């Protein structure tokens, strides 16, 4: 019996005795080892290996030869079962490991039996033998726990060795301290020379402090006193604001000093946002499914086509429905992958298409922006070329004539089961399935196809006509099936995108059909919709699940003859005024104040979408305060925030670059790239649904609920619907 085994048994007996005598057991008694024979002193048992691997001793360590050619991390595991875990107890998980190649091991503490919950995971990239150690809090109690080293997913074979595997319970909790850098927080990219320039200082002081703006050469360009703002609800920290809007100088490498701290450097220039406009839009090409990504067009990002029926892909060329859902197969190749997963979802594709086409319609400058994509130079603006890739896919998701629910759209198509990371699209081995049709997806198709019909008609009449026909058919089908709701339970192998409320989608689709056709049947539905007179500008203006504001914005801004148009326009301005009022109160200048300071999943996109409403009010009124509101909101995204981070890859001194993705997975496999420059991270999410965020951020306040780690899918994913408002706002600012 090893020392660890003995201490484990002693502890169990000790606890029993204490309970028997009625004495209180201290919450964190002795530290107790849970792993048996973790040092491999007594051979390899009770460790086991699967996936055709033989676990054997090598120089006192446990080693396996990992086969190549498996798809998932869990296709090859070295593990130990019967681990006791107690909910709420803190554990230190440690081991020494090496890899013959720079491969990542997914080290997991979880449930050994179905549903194989993960309580903690880390995926370090291996090399020479190294010690790894973390602490976490167990989320559940079980006697069927497991410590597992998941080793699969590599195309080529390699060798893994591990030693001193340890899981000690009863340790003090680890306190995660994010590195937030200097306490003076600025837009690390650029303030506009003519725009507002405000920074936030984190300090314990409650009276004004002196600040100084220096240029690149260190020369003082402005000085003043900060304004104490008290404790900021969104971060829980005491803050001041520093307003240097009076400075109109242009240049690079400015810094702001206050309270003994100097900010990260920033520019004052009007130039930065044209590049962002292009980068944020170039994001979409490398999200494409069904086409090889050309290395010449995107150096470092070339890859084979995903899901085109080439093994190990099962392909999207002839996809059946889930069992019992339909009796036909559809060719649904193409489109964009939704996010870091390989799913394609009509409701999220819909809002993304709408917002990109809306940007095109609102900012004429976009017409000339080249995106370096295969279609570039074909005479059609590149933004329309790129969005067409998704539109063609959305049209393929419509049920063909003659089939049950003809004209409706399938809610989504994705893998039968979740896959692990990393996994390039063309290597995904999972069967693909169409999920049931839904009213929401059908109305997304109706809205975006109608919008496309008016925007593409100048470049491709046949396509515009086809899109309009599909939109009309979809709208009629949705009216005939008004309550086919995508359920929350349908979330295996892909996101649920459940949507229980569709009155907003009806309103939006009717609005787009009316704007494109001018027909009374659609304006009648717009006017009769309860959404038409409702205040649709809530904490967040719109997202994939709340689309009424999309309809309202277009009714207000696309020329039309709807009765009562003045009221429609006034409602948009009133919505923008609400966001400006929130922003004014906010010491970080954020036009977003969710109820109970509970930040939503993808909060960065919500903030940007609220800014789209503010920008619409700028177009409607021409008043500077709306333009200034958009510019100030942008500062938060680029580093004027509690974490001092720019949420856009490659922009600012310190930026998010480990977003959750199966193919931009450099953090797990050094041979893969980070997300492309111009990729927005989801951002602070108070609900921290993923185990990694939970292990670091439990108890976090608002803005602090974010971590730039590939495992944090609930705070740090990238998505097609989040880059859309980034592109929209960048295009707006670039055109100012
Ligand atoms: O962005 C989505 C968020 O609003 C939902 O609350 C969440 C749970 O359904 O899903 C998010 O979307 C994810 C989707 O389900 C799967 N692809 C990645 C998306 C971003 O995390």
Q: Is residue 336 a part of any domain in this protein? A: yes
Q: Do 481 and 353 belong together in one domain?
A: yes
Give the count of alpha carbons within 13 A of 368, CB side only.
5
Ligand 1 atom closest to Cα of 338? 17
Phi, psi of 343 (to 5 degrees): -80, 160
Q: Do 66 and 198 belong together in one domain?
A: no
Query: For position 380, which CATH number holds?
Result: 1.50.10.10
pLDDT single digits (tens) 309-324? 999 999 999 999 999 9
CA 532 from chain centre, in angstroms, equals 30
Q: Is 490 in the pocket of ligand 1 (CB under 6 A)?
A: no
Q: What is the DSSP letter of 681?
A: P
Query: For position 232, which CATH number holds?
Result: 2.60.40.10
Map 686-707 to HEC letters. CCCCCHHHHHHHCCCCHHHCCC
Q: What is the DSSP letter of 331?
A: -
pLDDT single digits (tens) 543-558? 999 999 999 999 999 9
Q: How far is the CA of 617 from the centre of ligand 1 (A)?
A: 29
Q: Is 719 in the pocket of ligand 1 (CB under 6 A)?
A: yes
Atom 19 of ligand 1 has which residue's CA nearest to it? Answer: 339
Q: How far is the CA of 50 from the centre of ligand 1 (A)?
A: 33
Atom 2 of ligand 1 has which residue's CA nearest to it? Answer: 601
Q: Do 119 and 211 belong together in one domain?
A: no
Q: Is 602 in the pocket of ligand 1 (CB under 6 A)?
A: yes
Q: How far is the CA of 491 from the centre of ligand 1 (A)?
A: 10
**Mean pLDDT for the stretch of residues 521-534:** 98
Q: Any idea what the Cα angle at residue 640 is, between residues 643 and 281, rounded to 5°? A: 95
Q: Is 341 in the pocket of ligand 1 (CB under 6 A)?
A: yes
Instruction: Name residue, tokens 């900012």.
Output: 363
Where do runs of H (alpha helix) occur along 363-429?
382-396
Q: Any idea what the Cα angle at residue 160 is, between residues 154 and 164, rounded to 5°? A: 140
Q: How far is the CA of 544 from the centre of ligand 1 (A)?
A: 10
Q: Do 149 and 200 belong together in one domain?
A: no
Bridge partners of 85, per DSSP, are 142
Residues annotated as catalytic are: 660, 708, 717
Q: What is the DSSP letter of 125?
A: B
Ligand 1 atom closest to Cα of 719? 20
Q: Do 340 and 439 belong together in one domain?
A: yes
Q: Is residue 724 a part of any domain in this protein? A: no
Range of the domain at 482: 288-299+306-500
Ligand 1 atom closest to Cα of 497? 9
Q: Any idea what the Cα angle at residue 650 is, between residues 610 and 360, rounded to 5°? A: 45
Q: Which residue, 700, 667, 672, 665, is CA-closest to 685?
A: 700
pTM value > 0.85: yes
Q: Do 153 and 258 belong together in one domain?
A: no
Query: Which residues touch 708 (CB under 8 Å, ≥6 apart)?
Result: 645, 656, 657, 658, 659, 681, 716
Q: Do 148 and 253 belong together in one domain?
A: no
Listed residues 461, 476, 500: the one ending a domain: 500
Ligand 1 atom closest to Cα of 722? 1
**Which of 489, 497, 693 gets mutated to test ligand 1 (max ligand atoms within 8 A of its CB)?**
497
Q: Is residue 627 a part of any domain in this protein? A: no
Q: What is the DSSP letter of 66?
A: E
Q: Residue 383: which pLDDT band, with cuts at 50, 70 and 90?
A: very high
Q: Into how many domains does the chain fold? A: 3
Q: Is residue 673 a part of any domain in this protein? A: no
Distance from C-alpha of 575 to C-alpha of 536, rounded to nearest angstrom: 8
Q: What is the pLDDT of residue 175?
A: 84
Distance from C-alpha of 579 to C-alpha of 105, rounded to nearest angstrom: 45
Atom 13 of ligand 1 has which residue's CA nearest to it? Answer: 495
Q: How far is the CA of 715 from the centre of ligand 1 (A)?
A: 10
Q: Is 199 in the pocket of ligand 1 (CB under 6 A)?
A: no
Query: Which residues touch 673 (CB under 8 Å, ≥6 apart)?
Result: 300, 301, 664, 666
Q: Do 118 and 200 belong together in one domain?
A: no
88: left (phi over 0), alpha (psi -120 to 50) or beta: left
Q: Is residue 670 a part of any domain in this protein? A: no
Determine which helix (DSSP H) or strand (DSSP E) holds 609, and give its type and residue range. Answer: helix 603-621
Distance from C-alpha of 614 to C-alpha of 153, rounded to nearest angstrom: 46
Query: For position 130, which CATH number holds?
Result: 2.60.120.260
Instruction: Name residue, tokens 């460790």.
Output: 47
pLDDT single digits (tens) 411-428? 999 999 999 999 999 999
Distance from C-alpha of 609 to C-alpha of 433, rounded to nearest angstrom: 32
Q: Do 125 and 206 belong together in one domain?
A: no
Q: What is the pLDDT of residue 272?
A: 87
Phi, psi of 228 (to 5 degrees): -65, 135
Per the CB < 8 A criterion, the answer to whether 585 and 593 are in contact is yes
Ligand 1 atom closest to Cα of 721? 1
Q: Is residue 189 a part of any domain in this protein? A: yes
Q: Is residue 525 a part of any domain in this protein? A: no
Q: Residue 29: which pLDDT band, with cuts at 50, 70 and 90?
A: low
Q: Do 471 and 336 belong together in one domain?
A: yes
Q: Do 466 and 360 belong together in one domain?
A: yes
Listed residues 453, 485, 500: the one ending a domain: 500
Q: Is residue 19 a part of any domain in this protein? A: no
pLDDT single digits (tens) 640-649? 999 999 999 9
Q: What is the DSSP letter of 384?
A: H
Q: Do 161 and 192 belong together in one domain?
A: no
Q: How far is the CA of 339 from the centre of ligand 1 (A)?
A: 9
Q: How far is the CA of 615 from the centre of ligand 1 (A)?
A: 26
Q: Is 338 in the pocket of ligand 1 (CB under 6 A)?
A: yes
């Amino acid at each position: 019996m090893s020392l660890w085994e003995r201490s484990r048994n002693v502890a169990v007996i000790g606890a029993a005795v204490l309970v028997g005598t009625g004495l209180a057991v201290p919450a964190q008694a002795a530290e107790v080892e849970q792993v048996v024979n973790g040092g491999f002193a007594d051979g390899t048992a009770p460790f086991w290996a699967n996936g055709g691997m033989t676990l054997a001793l090598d120089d006192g360590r446990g080693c396996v030869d990992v086969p190549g050619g498996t798809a998932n991390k869990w296709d090859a595991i070295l593990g130990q079962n019967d681990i006791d875990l107690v909910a709420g107890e803190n554990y230190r998980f440690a081991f020494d490991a090496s890899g013959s190649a720079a491969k990542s091991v997914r080290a997991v503490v979880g449930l050994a039996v179905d549903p194989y919950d993960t309580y903690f995971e880390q995926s370090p990239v291996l090399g020479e033998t190294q010690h790894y150690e973390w602490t976490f809090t167990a989320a559940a109690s079980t006697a069927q726990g497991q410590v597992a080293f998941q080793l699969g997913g590599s195309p080529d074979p390699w060798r893994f060795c591990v030693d001193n595997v340890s899981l000690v319970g009863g340790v003090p909790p680890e306190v995660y301290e994010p590195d937030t850098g200097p306490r003076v927080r600025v837009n690390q990219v650029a303030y506009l020379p003519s725009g507002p320039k405000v920074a936030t200082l984190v300090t314990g002081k409650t009276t004004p402090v002196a600040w100084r703006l220096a240029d690149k050469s260190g020369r003082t360009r402005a000085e003043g006193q900060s304004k104490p703002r008290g404790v900021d609800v969104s971060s829980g920290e005491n803050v001041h604001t520093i307003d240097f809007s009076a400075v109109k100088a242009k240049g690079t490498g400015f810094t702001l000093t206050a309270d003994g701290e100097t900010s990260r450097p920033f520019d004052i220039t009007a130039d930065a946002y044209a590049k962002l406009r292009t980068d944020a839009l170039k994001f979409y090409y490398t999200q494409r499914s069904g086409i090889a990504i050309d290395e010449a067009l995107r150096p470092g990002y070339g890859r084979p086509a995903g899901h085109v029926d080439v093994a190990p892909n099962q392909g999207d060329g002839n996809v059946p429905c889930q069992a019992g859902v339909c009796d036909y197969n559809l060719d649904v190749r193409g489109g964009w992958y939704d996010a870091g997963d390989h799913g394609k979802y009509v409701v999220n594709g819909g809002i993304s298409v709408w917002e990109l086409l809306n940007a095109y319609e609102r900012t004429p400058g976009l017409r000339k922006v080249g995106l370096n994509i295969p279609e570039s130079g074909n005479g059609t603006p590149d933004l329309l070329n790129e969005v067409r890739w998704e539109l063609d896919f959305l049209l393929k998701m419509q049920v063909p004539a003659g089939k049950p629910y003809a004209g409706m759209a399938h809610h989504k198509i994705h893998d039968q089961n979740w896959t692990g990371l990393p996994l390039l699209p063309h290597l995904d081995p999972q069967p693909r399935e169409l999920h049931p049709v839904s009213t929401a997806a059908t109305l997304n198709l109706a809205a975006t196809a109608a919008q496309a019909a008016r925007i593409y008609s100048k470049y491709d009449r046949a396509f515009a006509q086809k899109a309009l026909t599909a939109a009309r058919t979809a709208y009629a089908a949705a009216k005939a099936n008004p309550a086919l709701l995508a359920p929350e339970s349908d979330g295996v192998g892909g996101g649920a995108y459940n949507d229980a409320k569709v009155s907003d989608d009806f309103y939006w689709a009717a609005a787009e059909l009316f704007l494109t056709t001018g027909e009374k049947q659609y304006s009648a539905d717009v006017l009769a919709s309860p959404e038409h007179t409702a205040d649709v500008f809530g904490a967040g203006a719109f997202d994939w699940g709340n689309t009424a504001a999309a309809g309202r914005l277009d009714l207000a801004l696309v020329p039309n003859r709807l009765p009562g148009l003045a009221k429609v326009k006034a409602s948009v301005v009133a919505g923008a005024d609400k966001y400006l009022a929130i922003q004014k109160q906010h010491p970080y200048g954020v036009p977003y104040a969710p109820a109970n300071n509970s930040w939503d999943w993808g909060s960065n996109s919500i903030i940007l979408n609220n800014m789209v409403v503010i920008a619409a009010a700028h177009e409607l009124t021409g008043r500077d305060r709306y333009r200034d509101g958009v510019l100030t909101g942008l500062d938060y995204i680029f580093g004027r925030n509690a974490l001092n981070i720019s949420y856009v890859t490659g922009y600012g001194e310190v930026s998010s670059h480990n977003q959750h993705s199966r193919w931009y997975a450099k953090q797990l496999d050094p041979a893969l790239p980070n997300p492309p420059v111009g990729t927005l991270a989801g951002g602070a999410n108070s609900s921290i649904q993923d185990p990694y965020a939970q292990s670091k951020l439990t108890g976090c306040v608002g803005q602090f609920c974010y971590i730039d780690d590939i495992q944090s899918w609930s705070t740090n994913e990238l998505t097609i619907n989040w880059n859309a408002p980034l592109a929209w706002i960048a295009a707006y600012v670039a055109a100012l």
